[in-house]
Structure 1
Amino acid sequence: MPLRLLLILGALSAFGPLAIDFYLPSFPTLARVFATDVEHVQLSLAAYFAGLAIGQLVYGPLADRFGRRNPLLAGVTLFCLASLACALAPSLEWLIAARFVQALGGCAGMVVARAVVRDLCDPINSAKVFSQLMLVMGLAPILAPFAGGLLLRVLGWPSIFISLALFSFICLLAVAMWLPETLAKDAAPAPLRGALAKYQRLLADLPFVGYALTGGCAIAGMFAYIAGSPFLFIELYGIPAEHFGWLFGSNALGFILVAQLNAWLVARHGPAYWLAVTVWFYVACGLILLLVALAKPSALWPLLLPLFGCIACLGILLPNASACAMAGHGHQAGSASALLGSVQFIIAASAAALVGVLHDGSAWPMALVIFACGVLAVSFSLLTRWAERRIARVST
């Protein structure tokens, strides 16, 4: 895949994590500005997750009916305008609503990026490309919290959302100028009235659902970490907001490095094999994290080690779950991508909200949710392999 196209798809895929990670250091500041607490500010994060889950279901059929470019251009424009609305928010309620609309726009890039990869690549090469996209996407968790903390200290919290508006405007120009239409010219336009039936058929596809749920539980653990880390690092262990990005970025670096390793691994055993193996490492790191959190260490570093392991495992879990789920659905790549992303972010939103519900001033709620996500990921992985073996026996 050409480098320019890869960079554009990576930037589009980064809309989700960038719009999340960029404003994480501002949580305590937003709580003071809007005269509330961090737990209520976290509702703006949950609203963003909900918008990602709902919006993707809309863009999938649109991308199959009207092509990849036009729905994408509309979504990026909406993201840009909603980012400006966030910067002008006079109240927390306004911010929560604007974040929901921002997600409705941003999820277009996530849906279309996966669909474009499926348009152009087979399952093995899809896993490789998704791993390469993780390199571009992974820069967001490294740079965004650091840059967000710096902007917060120098220019104030609205500058964070103004920067997101500028980023999305640049992406809009890049898409308009350089992203070709990848939906096959001879493909019959998919009628919108058949969208619900198409989703029903996908939900009846047990391997698709299994891979979607496995990846969804893995990404839910990451978003539990995202929701809980501002309190853990800044409030509980006293890390300055401008230094938050260094800790957050170190975990993202592990994610990037393992994702690049995955591009080499899948050429040898395939994405399904490495997905099934890595979920066990993920749940093991989650168990260690929970045990350390229950011990209530006086220093932060005992928590950082298993956290690093959990996030690094995602460099294999996420691209391989996506590649396995999308395999065999080239004729409906937009809808498959939309349902995959929607399922994943519904689980992610639930995990992030659960961290807030269980909040008690310690690290164990975040650790418990991450471990539970690992247990569920292992369970769904085992069920998926069972379903595939059963289908193979029936077909023979």
Structure 2
Amino acid sequence: MTAATTVAPVADAGARLSRTGRLRFALILGGLTAFGPLSIDMYLPALPGMAGDFSAANSLVQLTLAAFVVGLGAGQLVAGPLSDALGRRVPLLAGVALYIAASVLCVLSPSIEVLIAARALQAFGAAAGIVIARATVRDLFSGIAMSRFFSALMLVSGVAPILAPIIGGQLLTVTSWRGIFAVLAAFGGLLLLVAALALPETLPEASRRPARIGGVLRTYLSLLRHRAFLGCALTIGLGFAGMFTYISASSFVLQDIYGLGPQTYSFVFGGGAVGLVAMTQVNARLVGRFSQRSLLRTGLLTGTTAAVAATIAAAAGLGLPVLLPAIYLVVCSNGMVMPNAMALAMADHPDKAGSASALLGVLQFLVAGAASPLIGLFGEGSAVPMAALMAVFFGLALTSFLLMVGSRTANRA
């Protein structure tokens, strides 16, 4: 019996779920994918306070963010193959438990060096939730249903970047940065309990693959050699890099250049996230009426055009009333790009969904991580570098799609 035939019955399981069952899965898996944005965005307002508490340079404190991004990528490379070999539940529950323990270590950190190490461990645990959530969706769904469920997942996980900066700012009025990490530990504890009680195993033993290093490396190489998968992975990474450029630069651009206060900024930032979530639901309704490729192409064209418009608006000094709608449209377009690109990337790999999910996540964060320091190279006194880099990344994402995914022959590569 082939791997494809052993996985096929599992992939049909999602169709047999009731509406309540689908909602339960969406809430749990959405919460697991929210680990990343919550752990990044919630404590950003506290960075200056952390520098003061540790008497550390700002650059050293910022390593707590870099350590988390690196840990998130490395953790997915490990958690994905393990979930293909051991099933989804054991690596998932172990990862969430590690996240909780590392969050407590963040609370108790006596030095910035310990905090940096704790953040790397925290990310390693969070990575298990992110990568296994995507693999679980592939276990349960296929085709159009998978794309729709990814849209539902983004509805739940998309709330995180809306609320995280607001929650973090409000928590700082009643506690210190240590209290923020205590809240993250409590969130992890709640998810561990819910996942243990309500999330069943979705990968049967007959469909599991041994997690030998040689086999894992061969699996990753086979995925990278698959033209459509690599094209979708690059499209996801470059599209996310365009959005991450805004995420990493918006605080300085909107506050230092356009004069927004911290509270106003948090609501403006949240407005873009609301648009992103709304677009994922529009996408869910359009899937089935239009092909996933056409929706992905539309999202990329929209994002690229809007980013070019934002660059022109920033260069012409047209102000926030013109600049913000263009930037919001760039952010929103990812609500059509991400679900369809993920579904297309994983469609042909049901027997190695964990590894495919891990590789998608690693490439996404590697490309996005490279985007952040580029902004400072082109000056900090204008919104033009931010908008221009968004246009470059979206343009590259569109190019990757057209060359490697857009044609029907890509599936046969």
Q: Structure 1 unaligned segments of length 5 or more: list them.
A: none
2:236 aligned partner, one-letter code: G
- Distance in 1, matches of 2:410 and 2:80, equals 29
Aligned to 1:157: 177
Pick the aligned partner of 1:276 from 297, 300, 314.
297
Is 1:85–2:105 an aligned residue pair?
Answer: yes
Is 1:310–2:330 an aligned residue pair?
Answer: yes
Is 1:227–2:248 an aligned residue pair?
Answer: yes
Cα pair 1:25 1:244 within 8 Å, conserved: no
1:233 aligned partner, one-letter code: L
Change (3 A) 1:357 1:29: farther
Q: Structure 2 unaligned segments of length 5 or more: list them.
A: 1-16
Describe the SS at the equivalent of 1:267.
Answer: coil
Change (3 A) 1:131 1:34: same
1:159 aligned partner, one-letter code: G
Pick the aligned partner of 2:230 from 209, 221, 237.
209
- Distance in 1, matches of 2:288 and 2:202, equals 25
Q: Is the deviation greater in 377-386 or in 40-49?
A: 40-49
Report deviation, 1:231.
1.8
Report deviation, 1:21.
1.8
Aligned to 2:276: 255
Cα pair 1:52 1:103 within 8 Å, conserved: yes
Is 1:200–2:224 an aligned residue pair?
Answer: no
Report deviation, 1:206.
0.6
Report deviation, 1:292.
2.7
- Distance in 2, matches of 1:81 and 1:301, equals 45
Pick the aligned partner of 2:129 from 91, 109, 128.
109
- Distance in 2, matches of 1:42 and 1:224, equals 16
Cα pair 2:245 2:372 within 8 Å, conserved: yes
What does residue range 1-396 of structure 1 map to in structure 2 within 5 Å? Answer: 1=17, 2=21, 3-34=23-54, 41-193=61-213, 194-296=215-317, 299-358=319-378, 360-385=380-405, 388-389=408-409
- Distance in 1, matches of 2:274 and 2:389, equals 22
Cα pair 1:144 1:245 within 8 Å, conserved: no
- Distance in 2, matches of 1:273 and 1:318, equals 13
Describe the SS at the equivalent of 2:372.
Answer: helix
**For the aligned residues, what is the CA RMSD?**
2.2
Percent of aligned positions that are identical: 45
Report deviation, 1:37.
6.7
Report deviation, 1:273.
1.4
Change (3 A) 1:388 1:32: farther
Cα pair 1:47 1:99 within 8 Å, conserved: yes
Change (3 A) 1:33 1:103: same
- Distance in 2, matches of 1:233 and 1:153, equals 22
Cα pair 1:293 1:367 within 8 Å, conserved: yes
Output the TM-score relative to the length of structure 1: 0.92
- Per-residue CA shift, 1:105-156, capped at 9, x if unaligned? 1011111011110001012111000000111011111111111110112212
Describe the SS at the equivalent of 2:404.
Answer: helix
Change (3 A) 1:91 1:308: farther
- Distance in 2, matches of 1:227 and 1:90, equals 27
Report deviation, 1:232.
2.3
- Per-residue CA shift, 1:270-329, capped at 9, x if unaligned? 2221001210110111112222333456x5443322111111101111111100000011
- Per-residue CA shift, 1:232-266, capped at 9, x if unaligned? 23343343333432111110100011100000111
2:103 aligned partner, one-letter code: S
- Distance in 2, matches of 1:302 and 1:202, equals 42
- Distance in 1, matches of 2:376 and 2:98, equals 28
Tell me the number of residue pairs that the alignment of Structure 1 and Structure 2 aligns: 392
- Distance in 2, matches of 1:334 and 1:358, equals 38
1:355 aligned partner, one-letter code: I
Describe the SS at the equivalent of 2:206.
Answer: coil
Describe the SS at the equivalent of 1:154.
Answer: coil
Change (3 A) 1:211 1:25: same
Report deviation, 1:95.
3.4
Describe the SS at the equivalent of 1:239.
Answer: coil
Change (3 A) 1:270 1:366: same
- Distance in 2, matches of 1:199 and 1:18, equals 29
Report deviation, 1:385.
3.3
1:200 aligned partner, one-letter code: L
- Distance in 2, matches of 1:315 and 1:308, equals 11
Describe the SS at the equivalent of 1:186.
Answer: helix
Cα pair 1:212 1:340 within 8 Å, conserved: yes
